[in-house]
Amino acid sequence: MDLDGRVERTARHAVEVLTLEELRALLARNDRPRAYIGFEPSGALTVAHLITARKILDLVEAGFDVTVFLADWHAWINDKLGGDLERIRASGRYMQATFEALGADPARVQYRWASELVGASDYWARVVRVAKATTLARTRRAMSIMGRTEAESAVDSSKLFYPAMQAADIFELPVDLAYGGLDQRRAHILAREVAAKRGWPAPVGLHTPLLGSLKGSGRMDPEAAEDGAGKMSKSDPGSGIPLPTERAEIDARIRGAFCPAKEVDANPVVEIVRYIGFPWEGRLAIERSPKHGGAIAFATEEEFLDAWRAGRVHPQDLKAAVAALLDRLIEPVRARFRDRPELSRAAFERPGPAPSASVK
């Protein structure tokens, strides 16, 4: 793949690259740059993470070595899964198994844990340097990456460590490109600001769109998107579809999803087509009875959107096509957990023991 192809593959279906010029320069000088995406292991992934999985594959195809960073300490700080580190780590193992089932090649995608970094004094020195390069007010603004408002994040002082730790992770791993959903934008910008002040190499920022709640949430403005407002969320079971899910449940959830005819903005079913369907399959096929016009297929997103806006596709027909699409994409995950049930959601969804005071 030539340079133009590598840039296109990296940036396609993203909503933002910080900056495209920096990305091109990185790929021009480095055949195997390092990319990263961080996750709090905090529960079930949803179909929204099919966006992430596809972009991980894009990055590998563009020549990146990718690190999936399983931020167990960050999840502990953020009170996820009751602060039980064993359940948090079980969730991380489930995440790894899920991404591998979706095609992430272990030879090019490695998995690192925050607990691997926090045992080194150099890491905490880096955290302090990051913190000293930013203000308390800037830190509090960045705390929305935890899924909390600034006021809520003042519950306990450990929350103040989180933004500096997330920025420090990027430099300690280290990585050349930091990838995430749009809700991770503030963390990546913080890392770039710190890099400029400290004279460290600044990571390229790459951001993909957030998938809206199946319940519908109104137009997601950029500021709200950075806060993760209105997105499909594992904390709201009715808003999304967990991985894996059986076909009958997929059908039921998509059948009940918000999907106003002809509307594109804030329409979660249309978003699944745009952000998941075309990136994964490159086309959309809709089965219809002859009396409703017969089967129809779209080779590009633009063709589909034109037909949708014109009312040539009925919401129920679109929902049936989207349910079938998700069923196809989720099947490898179902197969993985049939073979390895010990890695499934049951490993962390089952209530565990009270959190231990000892953390290793």
Q: Which class is 3-214 in CATH?
A: alpha beta
pLDDT at 353: 45
Q: What residue type is 73 in one-letter code?
A: W
The angle that helices 3-11 and 49-61 make with each other, rounded to 10 degrees, is 170
pLDDT at 120: 92
Cis peptide before 98 (omega within 30 of 0): no
DSSP code of residue 357: S
Q: Which class is 243-343 in CATH?
A: mainly alpha
DSSP code of residue 148: -
Cis peptide before 244 (omega within 30 of 0): yes
pLDDT at 223: 52
Q: Is the pLDDT of residue 290 over 70?
A: yes
123: which 2 tokens? 């890491």
DSSP code of residue 242: B
**This prediction's pTM:** 0.89
**Model pLDDT for residues 308-359, shown as the tens digit of each residue:** 999 999 999 999 999 999 999 999 999 999 999 999 998 898 664 444 433 4
**Model pLDDT for residues 188-234, shown as the tens digit of each residue:** 999 999 999 999 999 999 999 999 999 986 444 445 555 554 565 55
pLDDT at 148: 52
pLDDT at 149: 53
Identify which has the larger pLDDT, 44 or 351.
44
- Report which of 155, 163, 146 is spatially closest to residue 228, judged by C-alpha positions: 146
pLDDT at 357: 37
pLDDT at 153: 45
Phi (first) and psi of residue 110, to 5 degrees: -105, 160
Least confident of 44-48, 136-140, 256-260: 136-140
Burial letters for 275-300: b for 16+ Cβ neighbours within 10 Å, e otherwise? bbbbbbeeebebebeeeeeeebebee
**Model pLDDT for residues 150-173, shown as the tens digit of each residue:** 555 446 788 888 999 999 999 999
**Model pLDDT for residues 77-131, shown as the tens digit of each residue:** 999 999 999 999 999 999 999 999 999 988 889 999 999 999 999 999 999 999 9
Parse the chain into domains and list their residue ranges.
Answer: 3-214, 243-343
Distance CA 96, CA 92 (A): 6
pLDDT at 349: 86
**Model pLDDT for residues 233-277, shown as the tens digit of each residue:** 555 657 899 999 999 999 999 999 999 999 999 999 999 999 999
